[in-house]
Amino acid sequence: MIRVITYGTYDLLHYGHVRLLKRAKALGDYLIVGVTADTFDRERGKINVQQSLIERIEAVRATGLADEIIIEEYEGQKIDDIKRYNVDIFTVGSDWKGKFDYLKDYCKVIYLNRTEGVSSTELRTETRLLRLGLVGESPILNKIERESHFVNGWEICGVYSQNSSSLDNKLRKLSGYSRTFEDLLEKVDAIYLISAPREHYKFIKIALEKGKHILCESPITMEVNQWKELKKIAFRRRTILMDSIKTAYSVAYYRLLLLAKSNIIGDIVSVDATCTSLSDFSVFDTNNQNMTEWNSICSWGPTALLPIFQLLGTNYLSKNITTHLMDNQKDFDLFTKISFVYPHAVASMKVGRGVKSEGELVISGTKGYIYVPAPWWKTDYFEVRYENSSENKRYFYQLEGEGIRYELLSFLKSILQKRDFSYISDRISVSIVKVIEDYESRIDTTLI
């Protein structure tokens, strides 16, 4: 009996897939089909597969062509499978030509002609692309543009920037076509916003009233009342208003949260997060609102507060803010530390654009602790450590695009499915604004 094996994602099963499976089956007597697991696809950079693993398996099963279906979960698994299932022929479409020649050491390798004119990628984008506009004055916009190409469904259609010096050529050219914010809104379905934080409110209000969806660099506003007003408008207009904190979407950080919540270090008693990045104050332009308003607490506060609020909740008993301001620019904090007290835990965050420190995250529990080395906010690695160090465990997860592509994917899904797919709850979003508002009004705050 000749045993044949083939692999694929089989998302939105189409005619090309069926033709391939038929020809694969005809090569032998018994066909094994390997369907890729969601995590494996993500590691390979296929991030917006639309159907779940179960749905994809069911679709392959329904063709009646597979004698056996297996799941492909890790790189290198094909060699294992070929040995384990006693495979004689490995086959795959010609788009992979040459890529699997290394399997010739284990069985025969046959590349079958790919069917022209159909692919899952095309089917995924068959529905109209959503038009995204970029707003603000930050080099982060360049990253958003680059990362948008990894998510089928977005098309960058315009840029509105009051100062385009930090934009690369492509975006600078696009920004030339939208002289006003309203001009840009005419061309897009949604915007990514990173203006000076005090300006967020104004931009968001205009955009929401025009029915546009918004992904906004956190904090969404500087005042809780403004936040509430905007969320009400978003609800009324049925539009999405989402916080952007890319760390929330980084795979390692997300997995770490799940582990910490599943009692792996016992009860969590302390969360300590530090985020610093020294600014170049020689180019500090006091006329550039974006530069002066993205002070330490606005730039880093939302990220540093994220693990605290996600692990301990937002119902802290008290907080103490200690801040050190710039001499000639009193709105700009060079360094800020906030300590929180919870009923059964404590937390601290330290942020600085004028002070440098070790950017680590430590989550302490009654059985052990989680250590994330600097820069923890874009980590691909963390450790769970115990009293007995032989029990320590290290975890690695590839960090693609600093989390931005997953964030853009969640934003897209929220718009298309009219459901909230944000990893940052409203409660956390508004609690971040509250902390910044208190800092601004010097509530619970000591100046040093």
Binding site for ligand CTP (CB under 6 A): 8-11, 16-17, 20, 46, 92-93, 95, 114-115, 118-121
List CB contacts of 104: < 8 A, sequence separation 6 or more.
none
376-405 burial string, b = 16+ CB within 10 Å, else e? bbbbeebebbeeeeeeeeebebeebbbbbb
Q: For residue 235, what are the contacts with CB-CB under 8 A and spacing of at least 6?
A: none
- In the bound state with ligand CTP, the residue whose beta carbon lies nearer, of 123 and 264, is 123
Q: Which is nearer to ligand CTP, 6 or 299 (CB)?
A: 6
Instruction: Tell me the CA distances in angstroms from 354 to 138, 280, 281, 326, 378, one per residue in order.
Output: 19, 9, 9, 8, 20
Residue closer to ligand CTP, measured from CB, 8 or 354: 8
Nearer to ligand CTP, 82 or 92 (CB): 92
Beta bridge partners of 27: none
For 33, list phi and psi in degrees, rounded to 5.
-115, 125
Instruction: For ligand CTP, give the closer residue by CB, 16 or 133.
Output: 16
Residue 146 CA neighbour count, 13 Å, CB half: 13
- Closest distance of CB 416 from ligand CTP, Å: 18
Q: What are phi and psi of 287, to 5 degrees?
A: -90, -15
- Which CB sits closer to ligand CTP, 92 or 306? 92
Q: Which of 240, 259, 333 is nearest to 294 (CA)?
A: 333
Nearer to ligand CTP, 51 or 339 (CB): 51
3-state helix, strand, coil in the chain (%, to 5): 40, 25, 35
Q: What is the DSSP string of 44-57?
A: TT-----S-HHHHH
Name the minimum Å distance from CB 264 to ligand CTP: 35
Smallest separation, CB 146 to ligand CTP (Å) = 20
To the nearest whole angstrom, how small is the minimum distance from the Cβ of residue 149 to ligand CTP?
A: 14
Q: In the complex with ligand CTP, which residue's Cβ is closer, 24 or 436? A: 24
- Closest contact distance (angstroms) between CB of 414 and ligand CTP is 22
d(CA 51, CA 29): 29
Least distance (Å) between residue 42 CB and ligand CTP: 13
> What is the number of the residue whose Cβ is closest to ligand CTP?
93
For ligand CTP, give the closer residue by CB, 16 or 403.
16
Min separation Cβ 25 and ligand CTP, Å: 13
Taking the complex as a whole, the smallest distance from the CB of residue 405 to ligand CTP amounts, in Å, to: 15
Q: What angle do CA 202, 158, 188 make, to 5 degrees?
A: 70
Distance (Å, whole) CA 301 – CA 50: 34
Minimum Å gap between C-beta 96 and ligand CTP is 6
Q: Which is nearer to ligand CTP, 21 or 167 (CB)?
A: 21
> What minimum distance in Å lies between the beta carbon of 33 and ligand CTP?
9
Minimum CB distance to ligand CTP smaller for 23 or for 337: 23
Number of H helices, E strands in the chain: 15, 19
Structure tokens at 171: 């975006």
Q: What CA–CA distance (Å, rounded) separates 10 from 20?
A: 11
Residues 6+ apart with CB under 8 A from 299: 277, 351, 353
Least distance CB 9 / ligand CTP (angstroms): 4
The SS3 of residue 209 is helix
Q: What angle, rounded to 10 degrees, do the helices at 404-417 and 140-148 form?
A: 60
Quote the CA–CA distance of 356 and 365 in Å, as a whole number: 27
